[in-house]
């Protein structure tokens, strides 16, 4: 499950690199791609993911969530633990846990301002610049920008509200399935120290860091990312 600046296309390198070992399914979150919006709550987004598994007749799966998708993945693992064999949380956190009715914070409003005032290509380039490490090549930057350019205001607003109000701390403390927390060494969006606070909540959580990459390790260094996944899931 992709992040707030992504969509199912974010996982191209994983679909190409892992499908010889696993059945790999990448979703478009509510408000992304052709997926309709849902109430911007953790229960609603996790419920949509569980409904997808039901529609595909999948009873048990490995679940991988990146950034916003990692918050949703925690919801799936918390609300339906019997459906999750192993859980991978990629560059993610527990949510901001803002009380209901609390206005969005400055960071979320800045993203919404960007998508209102910039055209899609400009918005995509702005998000890619934040997501990637300094060493990312031009082809990777172009791919990240093209993916982010497809984000809509509706999808972004729902994601911002989900992350602003979401709080997975109680769920994470009860996980019993094997969990891997992946981070990018140079992630500026969710620094490894913030992800570490999530790892501290999860009994027996394994951690791995992809060196010299930013927020989008799955795109910047897909070889290392995929090999790390294979090692954990096999």
Would you say domain 8-233 falls under CATH 3.40.1410.10?
no
CB-count exposure of residue 168 (10 Å: 0-12, 13-18, 19+): buried
Which pLDDT score, from 0 to 100, does residue 105 have? 93
Q: How many CB atoms lie within 10 A of CB 77?
A: 26
Chain position carrying tokens 């996980």: 175
Which pLDDT score, from 0 to 100, does residue 103 have? 96
CB environment 37-60: b (16+ within 10 A), e (fewer): ebebbbebbbbbbeeebeeeeeee
pTM of the full structure: 0.97
Which pLDDT score, from 0 to 100, does residue 45 have? 98
Q: Quote the CA–CA distance of 194 and 94 in Å, as a whole number.
A: 9
C-beta separation of 63 from 102 below 8 A: no
In which band, very low, low, confident or very high, does the pLDDT at 140 lie, cut at 50, 70 and 90?
A: very high
In which band, very low, low, confident or very high, does the pLDDT at 232 lie, cut at 50, 70 and 90?
A: very high
What is the Cα 104 distance to its own chain's centre? 20
Q: Quote the CA–CA distance of 35 and 28 in Å, as a whole number.
A: 6
Which pLDDT score, from 0 to 100, does residue 189 have? 96
- Please state, for a pLDDT cut of 90, what percent of the chain lies above it: 100
- Radius of gyration of the chain from its Cα atoms, rounded to whole angstroms: 16
In which band, very low, low, confident or very high, does the pLDDT at 119 lie, cut at 50, 70 and 90?
A: very high
* Dihedral over alpha carbons 9, 17, 196, 27 (to 10 degrees): 30
Which pLDDT score, from 0 to 100, does residue 78 have? 98
Which pLDDT score, from 0 to 100, does residue 152 have? 98
Chain position carrying tokens 């109430």: 39
Q: Quote the CA–CA distance of 162 and 101 in Å, as a whole number.
A: 13
Which pLDDT score, from 0 to 100, does residue 69 have? 98
In which band, very low, low, confident or very high, does the pLDDT at 13 lie, cut at 50, 70 and 90?
A: very high
Tokens (6 digits) for 168: 């997975």
Mean pLDDT over all residues of the chain? 97
| Segment 169-199, tens digit of pLDDT | 999 999 999 999 999 999 999 999 999 999 9
Which pLDDT score, from 0 to 100, does residue 120 have? 98
């Amino acid at each position: 499950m992709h992040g707030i600046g992504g969509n199912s296309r974010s996982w191209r390198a994983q679909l190409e690199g892992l499908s010889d070992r696993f059945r790999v399914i990448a979703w478009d979150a509510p408000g992304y791609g052709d997926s309709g919006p849902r109430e911007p709550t953790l229960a609603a987004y996790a419920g949509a993911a569980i409904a997808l598994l039901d529609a595909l007749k999948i009873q048990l799966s490995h679940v991988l969530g990146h950034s916003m998708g990692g918050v949703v993945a925690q919801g799936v693992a918390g609300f339906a633990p019997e459906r999750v064999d192993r859980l991978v949380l990629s560059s993610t956190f527990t949510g901001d846990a803002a009380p209901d009715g609390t206005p969005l914070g400055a960071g979320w409003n800045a993203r919404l301002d960007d998508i209102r005032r910039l055209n899609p290509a400009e918005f995509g380039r702005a998000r890619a610049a934040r997501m990637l490490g300094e060493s990312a090549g031009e082809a990777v930057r172009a791919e990240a920008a093209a993916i982010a350019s497809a984000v809509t205001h509706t999808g972004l607003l729902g994601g911002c509200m989900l992350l602003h109000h979401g709080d997975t701390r109680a769920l994470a403390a009860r996980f019993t399935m094997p969990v891997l927390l992946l981070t990018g060494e140079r992630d500026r969006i969710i620094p490894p120290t913030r992800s570490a606070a999530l790892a501290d909540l999860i009994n027996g959580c394994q951690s791995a860091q992809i060196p010299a990459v930013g927020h989008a390790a799955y795109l910047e260094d897909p070889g290392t990312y995929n090999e790390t996944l294979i090692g954990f899931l096999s």
